[in-house]
Structure 1
């Protein structure tokens, strides 16, 4: 069939399009009442490329690797494929499983499949969800006891999953007999058996301890100790996520009959974002393939950025080649403009011809800006101004970097730019008023610190929980209390007006703050009944010890807003986060900020992104750089002329005087 014939067939099958009208005519008439199309400008079937249609119509009797480029519309295509096969399914009680790696991704695929299939919810005999939930629900929980020997309770043999970093008291009963790496006795949840290497891996989440234990060459008696401890743990009905994958593999590989039955239950499985499959997950799926299940792997191997989870894209590629998967491409990029698509392609050394259909509004879509190592905190402000000049929506843009340490350097709550309690309270109110999720998080940090400094001065606090004082048992209650008080402050016309002078705003704070705190306490009843919030005063009279709140020195007549750092205004609308947090998103513009050097997370330093196209460092840069539609900016510290030439050759336009621009942004 040619493209037109494929479109006609699918539109007729999926939407019920009459054969005597074109897709365009159907969309403008019947499509107005069809939930599938009425909110779209064109027919959703007719807009698909021939590559997309080829995959939807591909056989479910053989294994396929759908090799997708960034922005190729693979989620839409997976949803359409799932709907198409479910609508003509004849193998009940067997069903189709569509597996992915996050709940959000699963919800999006289920929504798309439901739209195309005309179903509100995808249910039995099919499954759309995360690979973890599928492993737990169909293999581990009902059948793991066959391997572990767990007797169950009241005929319930479900496994209780324990986090590998947990230090719960009951885990003391599941510690090894001997000390490992001179770091104490590990609990059974702090290590797992790696079936790929045949070795035990310590993974408690504490780098120093895990490093010491993993560097030790284990003697036979130590291995026996670990084996026996893990067996006791699992026989008691516990397991970590890593344990569950090993147990599932043992169940399938040691019981061909069980593997056959599961294969008949799911004769067709689609794995979205297949580049994130671990070696053990590949082996589990292969046991089903050996029994007849057809696997369709969908993804972009260059977007594998979870090496710390033993995710190695070369293993996925080797597997699909070794098992002779039929390779189908998705090579049209619907997200990035061509210069950004070309840069990403060059970054990973991809030889495939990727075509973009999006035209950028920017004269220079790929920009490089340099910054001095002590000026990273100014970058969001500069980027915000650059977006305004370029006419790009800030709320659909982001600043990203590799580590949370660098995120903190660019966010006002963590950058050290707010130095006194008066400014902490003022910026907390300012950020809370924006309603932006990231800004409200920082507002809670500023406000929590202010409240504990003034009203709980002798107590130790937990900075990770918004400076919760030790007398406050519940972190959730503390957060809700802070949020309730900030809401009251923002509803107060005097307290929320930050355009007034420090003198006037300081007096408003003394008059009103204790009332808002006390009213918020009353919401929680007995939970916070011991909390007392006396009025703030300019100075204490003889014998008094009330909390002080004075006007900042030298700023009596200054406007409160002028005290905020330059990046706080940018922070209101501009998201600042890590590369991992924007994976899978489409943005209008993105600034990727390099680490200052290779210390710490070396894969966050920009030269590491260019040294080896097959490295995870390069893949991190690729994932970030392939998010924006119109504008990509790389911010790098103090590059040499030779290094700038290297970036120009890659496709970047280097700004001529970024240092001056950064200084001007800071002054304004």
Structure 2
């Protein structure tokens, strides 16, 4: 097409492509970049910006192009860019793409591409923060030991705070809280607790004692990094000259403590570029506040740029997502399917276990492969209802399923995670009366999380013979297999520390599932109602993913925090609405939202955001 026939937008895009090709290799991916993407890539790095990116807009690839574009003409051998994200996978993708499009592998020293945590620890916390922590080090080594916030290591007893006496005796572990940059006490997972001046003093004293001994949690590291930069002008100056430009991907996930570090560096002259979607901020449990991030962007004078084309989802899905969070002008999506893209099913709570099979059938009827599809819920408790599992119903069934998943020929990551979860829950119930951390495979207090996971892995790695569910060549019934299981587990049980019960008592819980003593174990596992092809997970786990289809299941009642469909619709600025927004913006062409039976008002409200009501499919025999 000649220059004369180009529209103004096409002409501008052509000019920016020519500008890009002066630094980068010619590539088909570059030819596909939109005008908005090109404008951000060539925007002078000295001009601070916020790239407001809708879901599916290709922002990770754009950040990679930006890094390659800037690095290709970099002339300083000592000062560089830091390109930061929040997960290793995202950082790895940025690095790969940046180096792919460079004329030479330029996005290396003096630049840094990685997670924000790794950058903070490598350049600020570990090299310098021992000084503000008053840690003297050991044998000249001033490296600080990072302690997980869920750790139950015995040495932590030395730093436990007693903040009230009998009869309302309260102890607080030193890794259960942190100090923010305003010297306020914050408890993990945003738990509220009213403290008087005495309690606050005790907690701060123990945290300082913890630091002086050379220990810190990840949240502590952010506090000490801020304090160092705030108190030591020399180091602040050094960091700002070493990294004069910083790009932060997924900026909506910045916790206040990290935002404080950003602010102090910005005041020293560091130029920041934020990339993200504020509507995908779903980490209130670690105190992330999207409104504070928006205020920071506005006050700091960042030039707002936009990516408004969604290359992932079709227009019907894009329109629905916009309505969830009150976006007036929806992003431009792909051409919709001829049939409904946004489907509404009503499902009674006693039929939730049918949903995986129904979803699989529906996908097959639409010629959509199951492999890149997910069933998504707000919390793990609902996953158990959908799978129709009960942690107290049959320990033997959970262990059998764990062995089955672990030893399957085509084992996936989801199978490994589920196997560890099932076995951890079972052993915790057997030995510790179920008193374990459900977020870490039901890890009991007597274990470190990593040690508990290794213990479970050792059992699973030794389970190959039991996972055949045979005695010689004959398949075993539940009654027979439970006898074998008792003999297998005894040696592991006897090595557990501080169990609440003896083995003779625990083994009585290892019995056949109700009314299945004479049923073959393999038959029970094969007839499980849950689909083996479709992953079931939480909203937080699919954040950042692209899926072919997604089923979002509402909690049957409003008791969950943000898991019920009415929570998603009440306030478009709430985190609950953002939960639904994140989930619904994952699929390309098919979204199914499952809710409990509705009244007419509720149904109209859901149809008003773009869902199409369909009858819940009938029995399997009806289909075939």
Q: TM class by shorter-chain length?
A: 0.7 to 0.9
* Change in 2 beyond 3 A, CA 1:494/1:446: farther
Match of 1:480 in 2: 458
Residue matched to 2:299: 322
Aligned to 1:651: 610
2: distance between equivalents of 1:226 and 1:461? 30
Query: Is the 1:394–1:573 contact (alpha carbons within 8 Å) kept by the matching residues of 2?
Result: yes
Three-state SS of the structure 2 residue aligned to 1:394 is coil
**Residues 57 and 426 of structure 1: CA distance in aligned 2, closer, same or farther (over 3 Å):** closer
Evaluate the alpha carbon distance shift between residue 414 and residue 101 of structure 1 in structure 2; reply closer, same or farther with a 3 A threshold: farther
The question of whether the paired residues in 2 share the 8 Å contact of 1:114 and 1:120 is answered with yes
- 1:82: Cα distance to partner? 0.6
Say if 1:362 and 1:390, in contact at 8 Å, map to a contact too. no
**Distance 1:239-1:102 versus aligned 2 partners, 3 A rule:** same
Mark the CA change 1:362 to 1:47 in structure 2 (over 3 Å): closer, same or farther. same
Contact 1:303 1:623 in 2 (8 A): yes
- Given that 1:385 and 1:665 are in contact with CA atoms closer than 8 Å, whether structure 2 keeps it comes out as no
Larger radius of gyration: 1
Deviation by residue 1:114-146 (Cα, 9 ceiling, x = unmatched): 212266694321111111111111111111123
**1:311 Cα deviation from its structure 2 partner:** 0.7
Q: What residue ranges of structure 2 are gaps of 5+ in the alignment?
A: 1-10, 496-507
**Hey, what does 2:324 align to over in structure 1?**
347
Partner of 2:126: 141
Q: Distance in 1 between matches of 2:425 and 2:41?
A: 55
Query: Displacement of 1:467 after TM fit?
Result: 9.8
Paired with 1:62 and 1:594, the residues of 2 have a C-alpha distance of 44
Q: How does 1:548-567 map to 2 (within 5 A)?
A: 561=523, 565=527, 567=529
Partner of 1:607: 566
1:11 and 2:24 are equivalent in the alignment: no
The structural deviation recorded for 1:225 is 2.7
Q: Is residue 150 of structure 2 the alignment partner of residue 190 of structure 1?
A: no
| Partner Cα separation in structure 1 for residue 585 and residue 476 of structure 2 | 47
Q: Distance in 2 between matches of 1:467 and 1:311?
A: 26
Offset at 1:441?
4.7
Q: Is 2:34 aligned against 1:74?
A: no
Distance 2:207 2:517 in 1: 64
1:172 corresponds, among 157, 162, 179, to: 157
Q: How far apart are 1:486 and its partner, in Å?
A: 3.2
The answer on whether the counterparts of 2:163 and 2:202 sit within 8 Å (CA) in structure 1 is yes
- Which of residues 351, 355, 378 is equivalent to 1:379? 355
Find the partner of 2:75 among 90, 109, 129: 90
Q: Provide the rounded CA distance (Å) in 1 between the counterparts of 2:425 and 2:231.
A: 56
Task: Return the offset for 1:445.
Answer: 6.6
Instruction: Confirm whether residue 124 of structure 1 aligns to residue 103 of structure 2.
Output: no
Q: In the alignment, is the contact (CA less than 8 A) between 1:379 and 1:662 conserved in 2?
A: no
Q: Quick check: 1:362–1:630 contact (8 Å CA) kept in 2? A: no
Looking at structure 2, the residues matched to 341 and 254 of structure 1 have their Cα atoms a distance apart, in angstroms, of 47
Partners of 1:331 and 1:202 in 2: CA distance? 38
Larger mean Cα displacement after TM superposition, 250-259 or 102-111: 250-259
What's the offset of the Cα at 1:419? 5.6
With normalisation by structure 2, the TM-score equals 0.84
Deviation string, structure 1 residues 549-585 (Cα, Å, up to 9, x no partner) = 89976977x99647755633x1x11000000000000
Gapped regions of structure 1 (runs ≥ 5): 18-36, 38-42, 496-503, 522-526, 532-544
Residue 576 of structure 1 corresponds to 536
Match of 1:333 in 2: 310
Normalising by structure 1, what TM-score? 0.79
Select 1:506's aligned residue among 467, 471, 476.
476
Structure-2 change in CA distance of 1:474 and 1:151 (3 Å)? closer
Quote the Cα distance in structure 1 between the aligned partners of 2:126 and 2:425: 44
Please, what is the CA RMSD of the aligned residues? 4.0
- For 2:464 and 2:347, the matched residues in 1 are separated by 36
Q: Which residue of 2 aligns with 1:307?
A: 284
1:260 aligns with 2:260: no
Cα deviation, residue 529, structure 1: 13
Q: Give the direction of change, closer, same or farther, for the CA distance of 1:237–1:491 in structure 2 (3 Å limit).
A: same
CA deviations over 1:624-662 (Å, ceiling 9, x no partner): 00000010111111211110011111101011x31xx25
The residue aligned with 2:553 is: 593
Where does residue 12 of structure 2 map in the other structure? 2
Residue number among 363, 378, 387 corresponding to 1:402 in the alignment: 378
What SS does the corresponding residue of 1:147 show, helix, strand or coil? helix
1:48 to 33, 41, 48: 33
The 1:666/1:554 distance shift into structure 2, 3 A limit, reads farther
Conserved? CA contact 2:53–2:307, under 8 Å: yes
C-alpha distance in 2, partners of 1:559/1:131? 48
SS in 1 for 2:310: strand
> Counterpart of 1:225?
202
Cα deviation, residue 189, structure 1: 2.7
Listed one character per residue, the Cα deviations across residues 511-555 of structure 1 (whole Å, up to 9, x for unaligned) are 99969x98x99xxxxx97999xxxxxxxxxxxxx9x998997697
Distance between the aligned counterparts of 1:276 and 1:551, measured in 2?
Answer: 46
Q: Deviations over 1:5-32 (max 9, x none)?
A: 22133234211x4xxxxxxxxxxxxxxx
Across the two proteins, how many residue pairs are aligned to each other? Answer: 594
- Does the 8 Å contact 2:405/2:415 carry over to 1? no
Moved more, 234-243 or 163-172: 163-172
Q: Provide closer, same or farther for how the CA distance between residues 461 and 64 of structure 1 changes in structure 2, counting only shifts above 3 A.
A: closer
